Amino acid sequence: MNSALAHRGPDDHGVWSEGPIELGHRRLAIIDLSPGGHQPMHSHDERFVLVFNGEIYNYRELKAELGDYPFRSASDSEVILAAYKKWGVACLPKLAGMFVFAIWDRQAQTLLIARDRLGKKPLYWYYNESNLVFASEIRSVLASGLVPRKLSASALSDYLFYQTVHAPNTAIERVQMLQAGHYLLAKPNGEVQEKKFWDFPTQIQHQNWSAADWAERVREKLEQAVNKRLVSDVPFGAFLSGGIDSSAIVALMSKAAQSPVKTFCISFDEKAFNEAHFAQLIAKKYHTEHHEIRLSPADFLKELPLALKAMDHVSGDGPNTYVVSKATRQAGITMALSGLGGDELFGGYPIFQRSLRLQNMAWLTQLPHPLRKMMARAVLWSKDSIQSRKIGEALQQEYLDPLDLYYLSRQAFSTEQVHKMAPGLNAYASPARAWSAQIKSNFGDLPLLSKVSIAEMRTYMENTLLRDTDQMSMANALEVRTPFLDHELIELVLQAPDTIKMPNFKTPKPLLVAAMGDLLPPEIVNRSKMGFTLPFAPWMRKEMRAFCEERLHSLGKREYFVGQEIKTAWQQFLEEHPSWHWSRFWALVVLEEWLSENNIY
């Protein structure tokens, strides 16, 4: 199991066992590079044993608060041990950072496993009432030899609809992902409990603040978030796409850093996908040491096998992060900051504008259902596209509430398409739909856009963006930190009224832009949003066509799938039919590759 994680920690490794437990660790040294940071780590009295992946950003403040503990290292790892010794499980809300860790209590014979608030670091676990197996990657869990490599049908359904599997489920039957902001407690009697220690604020604290007040407070919290994440004993840099989010992070890093920030971006020959000139503009403004990674189809095909091999859990996304992470690590950088989370927190996706519009269209539900059904058919008749299919399905629902329909926003294949390609799988309940209902129920007092933010963070961000960022960066022994996901910043921004976050549909992320003041040039603020993606569609129709077709053909032979339906749909994609987006087929290609690579049946 430890060897399966070697890529995550090339600097050191250790295994410790006693009685019923064995703990293994691979170390990527970021803070306290000395042997004092070796893990598994024991408390000074030898009672507690720790394995830990991540960073605790407020470890110095906690260390001062724990002044009576006889520290033997300068690491943040030992601070976790000291905090647990003093406060027990109550230490979890005191920890600010990204983490998963396990602490074995040798005296009480109990095991605590905890995961950070937003799920920045992954934790997979399996329990069969005889063995509890856990690791930072699912491949390590499988390497134990204790877990059947059986594909979960409900998870496969989830993946086809959303190109990911939502926690706590995984693609493997009975292997779970510890949910964000939760911990497990395993007791000597075999009982394993999962409990929550943090959640998003459920009620709004009404503040009589002006727009300028909100901008000032957001700026203060964001600066603090960036500064906390610059604590490091190794060289660091930043991903810079040239969008608002990454540009904001680089601007604040440059203010705080004592030397030029090292920045990294990907560029392409395809102009429609190339953001390099925007990244260069920010790099020039802040005098960064800029690295531009030119990527051609031939380059990508060369990297693709390695990127897919790095994919620990199947996902329809990720190779772009692998490429930029690899180049960053090769430049001598061990830690990088990212703008991930900015869109989810500040309303940067189209779903936020659509939700506001949908809220104003609730009157449509007063129309008779047969009439709305006719309207849905008319929409499909006028244009058979992905968007029109979603509009048609929405019109046929009982309610047009933005949260009731949220599950459609990130849906890849439609219900009809899944039914044709994989009959029976569309019968499974949608986890994304369940999340929508839960958010509507638990966070009803928050503004609409804040509820959409929570939905985005708990579904797409947590289960796709964060998981892909972790597995692709750590495959290259690179740690990625995300200032926008600072929990104090999140708790503040979720309180902001919709009129502050999106007063009009012209300025993107107006609260963030206002908070940054003149640090962001107009060219960055007013540019069209592109998103950090690769030119997959043209590549899949040309240079990558044979690669894709081989895997689609193999997938079509597997249980659950109808090969002829996949073949027909692929042909329509090649002919550029609007109802088929490249990402749908890439998700299928990756699925077959992952199943084959990991011997999942």
pLDDT in tens, 124-156: 999 998 899 999 999 999 999 999 999 999 999
pLDDT in tens, 68-112: 999 999 999 999 999 999 999 999 999 999 999 999 999 999 999
Residues 29, 49, single domain; the answer is: yes
Asked, for residue 334, whether it belongs to a domain, the answer is yes
Asked, for residue 559, whether it belongs to a domain, the answer is yes
- Asked which of 167, 196, 225 is the last residue of a domain, the reply is 196
Q: Which string of DSSP letters, residue by residue, matches 507-545?
A: SSSHHHHHHHGGGS-HHHHTSPP--S---HHHHHHTTTH
Strands in 262-267's sheet, in edge-to-edge order, are: 289-294, 262-267, 236-239, 335-337, 479-481
Residues 334, 478, single domain; the answer is: yes
Q: Are 432 and 162 in contact (CB under 8 A)?
A: yes
How confident is the model at residue 389, as a pLDDT? 62
Query: Considering only 212-221, 353-362, 487-496, which range has the smallest mean pLDDT?
Result: 353-362
Residues 494, 572, single domain; the answer is: no
How confident is the model at residue 267, as a pLDDT? 86
Report the sign of the C-alpha dihedral through residues 154, 165, 101, 328, in that order.
positive
How confident is the model at residue 19, as a pLDDT? 94
d(CA 6, CA 74): 24
Residues 462, 338, single domain; the answer is: yes
Asked, for residue 370, whether it belongs to a domain, the answer is no
Residues 309, 336, single domain; the answer is: yes
Number of domains forming the structure of the chain: 3
Query: Considering only 220-234, 288-302, 470-484, 487-501, which range has the smallest mean pLDDT?
Result: 288-302
Angle (CA) 271-275-279 rounded to 5° is 145
Q: In Å, what is the CA distance from 344 to each residue of 95, 160, 285, 449? A: 23, 23, 26, 10
Residues 493, 548, single domain; the answer is: no
Asked, for residue 258, whether it belongs to a domain, the answer is yes
Q: How confident is the model at residue 440 (pLDDT cuts 50, 70, 90)?
A: confident
pLDDT in tens, 288-326: 999 998 888 788 888 889 999 999 999 988 888 999 999
How confident is the model at residue 402, as a pLDDT? 81
First CA to last CA across the chain, in angstroms? Answer: 21
- Asked which of 505, 525, 545 is the last residue of a domain, the reply is 525
Residues 218, 153, single domain; the answer is: no
How confident is the model at residue 371, as a pLDDT? 77
Q: In Å, what is the CA distance from 113 to each residue of 2, 38, 181? A: 17, 19, 11
Q: What is the mean pLDDT of residues 336-354?
A: 94
Residues 521, 544, single domain; the answer is: no
Asked, for residue 430, whether it belongs to a domain, the answer is no
Q: Which candidate, 172, 486, 515, 450, places its Cα nearest to that of 312?
A: 172
Asked, for residue 262, whether it belongs to a domain, the answer is yes
* Helix, strand, coil content of the chain in percent (nearest 5): 50, 15, 35
Residues 186, 268, single domain; the answer is: no
Asked, for residue 587, whether it belongs to a domain, the answer is yes
Owning domain of residue 567: 535-601
Residues 581, 470, single domain; the answer is: no
Q: What is the mean pLDDT of the chain?
A: 91
Q: Which candidate, 431, 427, 395, places its Cα nearest to that of 411?
A: 431
Name the phi and psi angles at 24, rounded to 5.
-125, 155
- Asked which of 472, 503, 525 is the last residue of a domain, the reply is 525
Residues 162, 266, single domain; the answer is: no
- What CATH number is given to the structural domain containing 82? 3.60.20.10
pLDDT higher than threshold 80 for residue 544 = yes
Residues 128, 247, single domain; the answer is: no
Q: Which candidate, 1, 2, 5, 3, places its Cα nearest to that of 475?
A: 5
Q: How confident is the model at residue 502 (pLDDT cuts 50, 70, 90)?
A: confident
- What CATH number is given to the structural domain containing 334? 3.40.50.620
How confident is the model at residue 366, as a pLDDT? 67
Encoded amino acid at 480, one letter: V
Asked, for residue 253, whether it belongs to a domain, the answer is yes
